[in-house]
A and B are shown apart, each in its own frame.
Chain A
């Protein structure tokens, strides 16, 4: 047990979210979880959604590992995207929240001290754990499902593949273990064999552990059973002979879920039982134990805190800062959806009649599976399921095994009615609920307010998307008609006609292909080819329509180095460094260096050659860069340059220009006349002269460190450039560009290729941004200014959630990374089946997509909170936990609502300002029964978790319409009182002892300087040439082994609590898989620790010799120890290179790949 002070010396939870109550809550949570795990062996962290459970868990892990460096961890995430997120968060946590490199949790280079391993399946886990168990493993819960057809021998391919794979890693397993005659026995044996291959884990973390709430028993998902057996849960006698070493693999288990139970504490017991940890908590499952005693039993290991938001001087809990639309409407709060059109009313009545008749049939007994009536979501035709289709037409297909119910019992009737309506009226049958939602969301591109929509029916993703896209098209085309100059209107109408024609043809083709069952064609992954889903995709993305100055044309020109706009989004660094205007740069540069303008011009002209290749006519952007680079270099190197200017110039040089130098033999023989680029005016140089606008969209960097400040400014400018070029802002810029051009003809644009037209567009654009800035959003549409200012203001947050590595990347990579992040934008995004990370990351930014329609694929794990304050439960889920998880996607620390509401200081928020939770439904349909049931269960869940009251509930997944109608309609109000957790952190959870940290915060810097002192030309008698440019904790060099040479790299690492140096010396490309025999024979005589790198990448070497040595406690033996290591490793590597490859490669051959050896914790 440790105390909070001890933990606070190691962990800083306020680093990203700021110091204060939230950071304190996370620290206390980490200590409490650590202490519970230490004493109980299990802990359940059930904090409300969005409070940072992952970080609390990582804090507990760090505390354990700091004091026990060999602490072994396995993380089980529900699915792939969350598995990756855990790995990302662990890296972030170690880098930012662990205070200093202790070499146990955090290494010298601020990455995790242990490597991270993502396992795609159970065989991967076995292979990786067998290879080296002392790494952190991340697996998916879905990997334990072991889906395998089993009808006949031919179908048992998957089982055979698993059997053969496992045999490779456990060749000694008896044959009878892998008997393929019985499916369930095979699965059990496979799981037990996996267990035999796994090490004991000091801690297993189970994320979203409510997925295991049905436990290990009979009749539950076989996934739970496979997991339990793989973790060594006791399963009766008889395991010793077939499975030697079988037994519990998890010394401690940490469960994480905001929704640990639905309506019974038994769900807790079930989860513990999967890991064989339920024994001491049998009260939870007993029927004759009071609810109070069950609560006391749960409180032994469960912690739950409630989200609180400080608004107007008061702390509000989630039920107080969320506004729920329980009556079903989406336009006016507490109003149902009004169906006024008689035709629509008739259709609703007809459908309800059909549904009523269906439910009245004997086979359904007036009941239906919650959320599995297709008519609730859409009247469009739904594809017929194949008999072996496991997925179904709805998410959560596991809810039923009945193929008819999976398909939706009303599908056949709805399809028949829809066809009949289409034939009679030549249009799709209207669906009042869907149409109301589409009406409500069709405003998002005007207001900029994002919306997250959860559906249950997979086909609804496309249906809603299509309708919203149609509305978006209407808006965009009208907007362009309104804002483009009159002279181009006729041409524009022809373009719209063309779009509609092409779109119709493409959609018909796709429909035909789908009907014929042909596979879907996929475009190239790396290139945006545009599309037909919206006019934006067709006109503003990809190639765009031919022969027209389209949005896509402008987008391409802004991104290219050549042409008028080749420097539009560049920055004139020289003008910034000299503090002067473009137009007076040459003069100021000469004055600064105490020389003449002619001399400056000549020097820049000469210098620019070093940054240009032999290309005949370097593009405009290249020429600009070359001149800037030459002038910045001049400032760095000129003896008369004042120190302050030189200091900043050096930073600009190192961060941006140094890497753009061209090798001498590839340089242009002579630089073209390009000096005018010193005076180039760009978007950013012009923005500097509009201080108010600048502070709104390109605020001055906050970092006091000049180098950091430069990076911050550059990252912000690249983000703005990418956003303008690739998203909603491009529309504004396009309208301005065509306004200047007054033509959509491509030739006209090319004729006007001069700097002046670019310069005028810059002014027009800045003027527009200023106008938008000064006009309240209520009086205009959401536009470029709003997108850019939100990106600029929240860039840190955007990087944290989307691209944290960008901060460490070289600045030259930034334009590409931002372009990748913002590519292929669409106003309405849809997701089912698997997570589209591009869409998810864009939803976490301002702008497109404004609406994200998704099935439960995004229900857990993905944070979508940063710019969205509205969630629509269009397809109602049947469990309160799913509903809460879905709402939780946008209700998290640092959310859009959090930022807006926390800024209110002197009043309570209005209903409109709260986080909006919609439950769209029609009151005149049987769906209302389902909504009422779910809302009641949500209230019960809240009472159970927050007040300790258990209301014995009916957990039925089905609704009996007769019973429900008999109960009559009742409103289920939102709970209003302040929520109080039933499971707070107790004093005893934090009552550990003050413990001195196991590593001194100064340890890393001491070791680092000891390590850097090794770079001596004569190291313990070795002649070494050390290379330049190494990073922290890495030294690279070449040992002279006359007459030969051998390169190597040294890496400062740790093992256990010991500092260690690793030496890697490359042999070359040997293709060891094909030459294993020859290398094995050599290795018999050369006592080398040979390493191979298996990769599809092209590399300079795939065979190494390596070795490690511990560093002593004093440092006195460092030189001798490391010299002995280098000597042994390089001699062995050189001998292998000589004898097997007959070569003697220089360091430069391997330098880039040797640099990759330093990257660990990946």
Chain B
């Protein structure tokens, strides 16, 4: 089992701080991802949009999110109990390599950042 996920995050575009990893993209945008250890898996979470944006987007946001979930790989979006739009990914620990973990981290960060840009035109998270 791969338990020390921080050691696996050694890459120029990833910086670890506590349970958070900041992924920086070539265009200098970046996105923060939280890593939680949940038994046999790591759960990766990122915030896409704050409640104010979610409320401003109206009901169509849920539908848009679920359509997006059909298209996007490894990452899922939903509105959480705090009315934030969040993204989640689950990473199995069985046989996990550093390259795979980094792949998941970049995937969730890229997809979250893209969605954030589409909704707000900004780079906050």
Contacts and interface: CB of A to CB of B under 8 A. Distances in A.
Given A171-B56, A1089-B78, A130 B118 contact: yes
Interface residues of A, number: 57
B5 interface: no
| Interface size range on B against A | 35 or more
Given A1076-B63, A1094-B67, A1110-B103, A244 B121 contact: yes
A1109 B92 contact: yes
B39 to A, nearest CB: 9
Interface stretch (A228-236, A873-881, A1116-1124): A1116-1124
A1079 B62 contact: yes
A340 interface: no
Interface in A1094-1124: 1094, 1103-1104, 1106-1110, 1112-1114, 1116-1117, 1120-1121, 1124
B59 interface: yes
B81 interface: yes
A1072 B120 CA distance: 25
B74 A1110 contact: yes
A1089 B59 contact: no
Interface in B69-114: 69-81, 88, 90, 92, 94-97, 100, 103-104, 107, 114
B97 A131 contact: no
Interface string A113-152: 0010000000000000011110100000000000000000
B55 interface: no
Nearest to B114: A133
A288 to B, nearest CB: 40
B57 interface: yes
Contacts of A1124: 40-41, 90, 92, 94
B110 to A, nearest CB: 10
Contacts of B75: 1089
Contacts of B66: 1072, 1090-1092, 1103
A245 B63 CA distance: 26
Given A1076-B59, A1080-B62, A1083-B79, A1091 B70 contact: yes
Given A1094-B67, A1120-B94, A1055 B76 contact: no
A132 B71 contact: yes
Given A1107-B90, A1121-B94, A1089 B76 contact: yes
Contacts of B122: 172
Contacts of B74: 1055, 1060, 1108-1110
A1117 B95 contact: yes
B73 A1055 contact: yes
A1114 B79 CA distance: 36
A39 interface: no
B123 to A, nearest CB: 10
A1121 B78 contact: no
Nearest to B81: A1084
Contacts, number: 129
Contact of B78 (A1087, A1113, A1120): A1087
A98 B57 CA distance: 44
A1058 interface: yes
A655 B96 CA distance: 44
A1104 B76 CA distance: 12
Contact of B68 (A132, A1055, A1073): A132
A627 B52 CA distance: 70
Interface in B16-44: 40-41
A70 to B, nearest CB: 10
B90 A1090 contact: no
A350 interface: no
Interface string A369-381: 0000000000000
Nearest to A1113: B97
Contact of B88 (A169, A197, A1087, A1091): A1087
A1073 B61 CA distance: 11
A1092 to B, nearest CB: 4
Contact of A1092 (B41, B67, B77): B67
B95 A1056 contact: no
A1084 B78 contact: yes
Interface of A: 115, 130-133, 135, 168-173, 196-197, 199, 244-245, 1053, 1055-1056, 1058, 1060, 1062, 1072-1073, 1076-1077, 1079-1080, 1083-1085, 1087-1094, 1103-1104, 1106-1110, 1112-1114, 1116-1117, 1120-1121, 1124-1125, 1128
Given A1080-B79, A1083-B78, A1121-B92, 4 more contacts: A171-B57, A172-B120, A1077-B59, A1103-B66
26 contacts: A131-B71, A135-B71, A171-B119, A172-B121, A173-B121, A245-B121, A1055-B74, A1056-B103, A1072-B62, A1076-B59, A1076-B60, A1080-B59, A1080-B62, A1083-B62, A1083-B79, A1084-B80, A1087-B88, A1088-B78, A1089-B88, A1091-B67, A1092-B63, A1109-B92, A1110-B104, A1120-B94, A1124-B94, A1128-B90
